Amino acid sequence: MGKVIAIFNQKGGVGKTTTNVNLSACLAAKGKKILVVDIDPQGNTTSGFGIDKNTVPFSMYDLLIDNVDIYQCIVNTSRENLFVIPSSVQLAGAEIELTGMENREKRLKNAIDKVKDDYDYIFIDCPPSLGLLTINSLTAVDSVMIPIQCEYYALEGVSQLMNTIELVRENLNPKLEIQGVVLSMFDGRTNLSIQVVDEVKKYFKGNVYTTIIPRNVRLAEAPSYGQSIIEYDPKCKGAEAYSEFADEFLYLEEDINEGVI
């Protein structure tokens, strides 16, 4: 059975999209069948895979608001094992439209449940907010992966984030788990980055991945070419880090499946 994971932190610019695009691409290259769901109206994950969100026949908006069948919304990225449900500009209005709809928190879950068994992993790129699009995502998933940027105020908003997860557990998705915390944009030349790693590890105890994603300019460049980092520059430090991260992710998943964790 496939596992559904939200990549979530309501703080903006912490590396959610970068992690989603590159972890998904690395896992697909390692033979896992991946569906990436872009529920962020900014649509950066969609364009990060080179998909033009203005020309796709159906998008996340159509799925959530117009009940278009999920199978019709899935786009083949032309990369082996990698599929995307694209975002679109209309999605920004969906937050308001959802408010008056029946089953408004469960519309994504109801759709995703239909395709869950077709993939090894489904990753949802959440917007940097705590509105209904995020609530739909947290309701649809088995677990939450939290990227945290190694910068000032890294832990700012984290208690609010944990409260949101707890509220969703209590009201909508009792089995929601923390998949793990991934530290991003690490700069080993600064004490600040090193301090943030310590603080985050203390706060989240055993839940932080060992692999740390460095600040690497190639990671910032790749999206403008519509490529993941393993296509754009497979030998750069960013590509090495995401490939290692994918290995660690899979290793821990095996332990979870075998009941070790």
Ligand X SMILES: Nc1ncnc2c1ncn2[C@@H]1O[C@H](COP(=O)(O)OP(=O)(O)OP(=O)(O)O)[C@@H](O)[C@H]1O
Contact residues for ligand X, defined by CB under 6 A: 12-18, 40, 42, 44, 128, 184-185, 213, 215-216, 219-220, 223, 238
Nearer to ligand X, 115 or 179 (CB): 179
**Two tokens at 229?**
């980092």
Kindly state the smallest distance separating residue 173's Cβ from ligand X, in Å: 22
Q: How far is the CB of 7 from ligand X (least distance, A)?
A: 8
CB of 225 to ligand X, least distance (A): 12
SS3 26: helix
Of residues 115 and 200, the one with the C-beta less far from ligand X? 200
CB 16, min distance to ligand X, A: 3
Least distance to ligand X, CB of residue 55, Å: 22
If the CB atoms of residues 13 and 188 are measured against ligand X, the closer one turns out to be: 13
What minimum distance in Å lies between the beta carbon of 260 and ligand X?
30
Nearer to ligand X, 115 or 243 (CB): 243
**Distance separating alpha carbons of residues 158 and 126, to the nearest angstrom:** 15
Please state, in angstroms and rounded to a whole number, the distance separating the CA atoms of residues 235 and 199: 30
The DSSP line for 70-108 is: HHHH-EE-SSTTEEEE---TTHHHHHHHHHTSTTTTTHH
Write out the DSSP string of 169-188: HHHT-TT-EEEEEEEESB-T
**Polymer length of the chain:** 261
Q: Are residues 77 and 83 in contact, defined by beta-carbon separation less than 8 angstroms?
A: yes
Q: Which is nearer to ligand X, 24 or 44 (CB)?
A: 44
Question: In whole angstroms, what is the distance from residue 191 CA to residue 165 CA?
Answer: 31
Report the distance separating Cα 107 and Cα 166, nearest Å.
20
Instruction: Name the phi and psi angles at 45, rounded to 5.
Output: -65, -45
Residue 74 or residue 126: which is nearer to ligand X going by CB?
126
Enumerate the β-bridge partners of residue 83.
Answer: 35, 76
Which residue's CB is nearer to ligand X, number 122 or number 185?
185
Shortest separation between residue 209's beta carbon and ligand X, angstroms: 14
Lay out the sheet containing 82-85: strands in order across.
75-76, 82-85, 34-38, 121-125, 3-7, 143-149, 177-184
